[in-house]
Amino acid sequence: RYVSFDLETHAIRSGWLAPRIVCGALATKEGGGFLFRDAVSVARDILEDSNSVMVVANGAFDFACLAAEDESMFPLIFKAIREGRVYDVLIAQSLDAIEGGYLGIDPRTGKALRDPETNDVKSRYSLAICCDLVLGRVDAKRNDVWRVSYALLDGIPEERWPAEARQYPVDDAVNTLEVALGQLEGWDRGLDPERGPARNLDNMAAQVEAAFALHLGAAWGIRTDGERIAALSVEVDAKHAEAVKRY
């Protein structure tokens, strides 16, 4: 059972890479997509269900936000990842491109990846790029006017939100699920109608865990021993001064 999951949060900024959650959305193959506010409890239900695979796009960010809200989510997240129950469409696209020898390259043109809406060159896979490559659609972000402004809606009942603000999270969840199903079941990207499913996916769990760990390191830094760092600084400064004087 594939369940796509996506969060909308306050905007990230320097030193705040796991911002406060405003809302989320999920989608299933059977039931379409819908918006929710109780993100931690919804995520917990999915992660605790051994029959569900959580489908995400840049899930490392979503997981960090969930853990910042409730640190009891950490063991559930790592357990689901290690059991292969987290599927990240952006990582899947990267793994397939590595297998095909065109990481960071649009295989249709042989040139650098470009955002399908802005035509800007991109160095990494986004949901919009994956929708273009896998589904042949360039409308993934058509309702994104509120994309970086959800903090303004925090605490306001959803029924008072603008229509685009309610629709954008649902679009992301539905698009993420459709990309995942395309990758898993095979797709026609206009290159080869016989192309089967995405390749190299046996490395998914390891890459999802690595991405989460790296995001946690970026969000919270590396814990150090202050006394040992101070002593090391004195030693290094002394050696540097000696070297400068000598040379």
Please write the tens of the pLDDT for every residue from 188-216: 544 455 667 899 999 999 999 999 999 99
d(CA 229, CA 190): 56
Give the chain's end-to-end CA distance (angstroms, integer).
67
pTM of the model: 0.86
Q: Is the pLDDT of residue 83 over 80?
A: yes
H or E element, residue 106: strand 105-106
pLDDT digits (tens, 9 = 90+) for 135-157: 888 887 777 788 889 999 999 99
pLDDT of residue 138: 87
Q: Average pLDDT, stretch 28-41?
A: 92
- Token reading at 12: 């990230």
- How many CA atoms does the CB half-sphere of 1 hold within 13 Å? 14
H or E element, residue 21: strand 21-28
d(CA 18, CA 64): 5
Q: Tell me which residue of 35, 32, 34 sits closest to 21, measured CA to CA.
A: 35
H or E element, residue 32: strand 32-36
